[in-house]
């Protein structure tokens, strides 16, 4: 029966194997970070960092460097700028995020103009914007895994003070936690997560993988640990199923054109969010 869903060559294709492993790792990181993004109310910052990553990826393509390096460097600079401009209040943080977002959009337009004007880098534009885990160079995989491991380790180490500073900055400060330091550290973790997801599904759509599974899990699960585990399961399922659908779509028509991986992943994420909304409504209905 499995052959009805999986086209021949899927499991034996080395490119697909690399995509499945890298996609799963990125999904785990995005889900774990995404839960804290939703809890802290920083979805807008996550969206802004996708634009910052896009500028970095375009700049890296322009000089012939790895897009992941561009995503990371731009994300670190952009994340630090967002936190520095955010000051103390949420309103100031949103204003700072908006300023960084506008600057990143301008740089992206400039870099993509130069990239599209270069005959040697024309194919890089779509890769930066929409990504494709099938085209990730094997040489980038070790760096991606190292960044993922460092991101998860950092998030695990600071999870308690980070959660406390998210829910009650005053109580956190009274217990010796520095909320602004936690905020800066988290935005750098967020930048690394966005860079990884941009590598798999592109900078434009990386917010969906960051926020979607986390939002769906928080609607359904009870407790932060359950939500994190649920988000990881949903994120990995979305990426793996998206890769499968993209691979299978090559055989769906005589033209033999695959649906982009990014579109398939986002489609699955939207289904998960919709299903969580239905589940949440049904559960509330039974509780009345």
- We report the CATH number of the domain holding residue 140 as 1.10.3470.10
- pLDDT in the model for residue 97: 77
Highest mean pLDDT among 37-51, 78-92, 145-159, 270-284: 145-159
Domain assignment present for residue 65? The answer is yes
Averaged pLDDT, 88-113: 76
Distance, CA of 148 to CA of 127 (rounded, Å): 20
Averaged pLDDT, 93-114: 80
Domain assignment present for residue 10? The answer is no
Residue closest to 86 by CA, chosen among 14, 158, 182: 182
pLDDT in tens, 228-256: 999 999 999 999 999 999 888 888 777 77
Please check the confidence at residue 218 and state whether its pLDDT lies above 80. yes
Domain assignment present for residue 2? The answer is no
In sequence order, which residues have a C-beta less than 8 Å from that of residue 200 and are 6 or more positions away? Answer: 22, 23, 26, 131, 133, 136, 206, 209, 239, 261, 262, 265
Overall domain count for the chain: 1
pLDDT in tens, 18-74: 889 999 999 999 999 999 999 988 888 888 888 888 888 888 888 878 888 888 998
Highest mean pLDDT among 6-10, 58-62, 159-163, 164-168: 159-163
Q: List the domain range (segments joined by +) for residue 193.
A: 25-283
Domain assignment present for residue 237? The answer is yes
Domain assignment present for residue 62? The answer is yes
Give the model's confidence band at 4: pLDDT under 50 very low, under 70 low, under 90 confident, else very high: low
Domain assignment present for residue 254? The answer is yes
Distance, CA of 251 to CA of 59 (rounded, Å): 35
pLDDT in tens, 77-97: 888 887 777 655 555 667 777
Domain assignment present for residue 3? The answer is no
Please check the confidence at residue 272 and state whether its pLDDT lies above 90. yes
Domain assignment present for residue 19? The answer is no
Please check the confidence at residue 164 and state whether its pLDDT lies above 90. no
pTM of the model: 0.88
């Amino acid at each position: 029966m499995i052959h009805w869903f999986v086209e021949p060559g899927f499991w034996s294709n080395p490119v697909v194997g690399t995509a499945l492993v890298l996609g799963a790792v990125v999904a785990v990181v995005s889900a774990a970070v995404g839960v804290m993004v939703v809890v802290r109310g920083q979805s807008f910052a996550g969206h802004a960092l996708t634009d910052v990553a896009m500028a970095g990826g375009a700049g890296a393509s322009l000089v012939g460097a790895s897009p992941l390096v561009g995503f990371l460097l731009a994300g670190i600079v952009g994340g630090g700028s967002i936190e520095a401009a955010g000051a103390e209040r949420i309103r100031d943080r949103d204003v700072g995020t908006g300023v960084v977002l506008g600057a990143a959009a301008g740089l992206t337009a400039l870099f993509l103009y130069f990239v599209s004007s270069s005959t040697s880098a024309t194919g890089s534009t779509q890769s930066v914007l929409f990504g494709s885990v099938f085209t990730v160079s094997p040489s980038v995989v070790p760096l991606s895994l190292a960044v993922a491991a460092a991101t998860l380790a950092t998030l695990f180490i600071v999870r308690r003070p980070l959660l406390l500073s998210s829910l009650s900055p005053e109580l956190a400060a009274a217990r010796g936690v520095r909320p602004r330091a936690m905020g800066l550290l988290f935005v750098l973790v967020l930048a690394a997560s966005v860079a990884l997801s941009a590598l798999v599904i592109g900078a434009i759509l990386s917010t969906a993988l960051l926020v979607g599974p986390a939002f769906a899990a928080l609607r359904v699960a009870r407790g932060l640990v359950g939500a994190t585990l649920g988000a990881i399961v949903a994120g990995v399922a979305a990426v793996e199923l998206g890769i499968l659908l993209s691979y299978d779509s090559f055989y769906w028509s005589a033209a033999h054109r695959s649906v982009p991986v990014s579109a398939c992943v986002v489609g699955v994420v939207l289904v998960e969010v919709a299903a969580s909304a239905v589940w949440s409504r049904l559960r509330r209905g039974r509780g009345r």
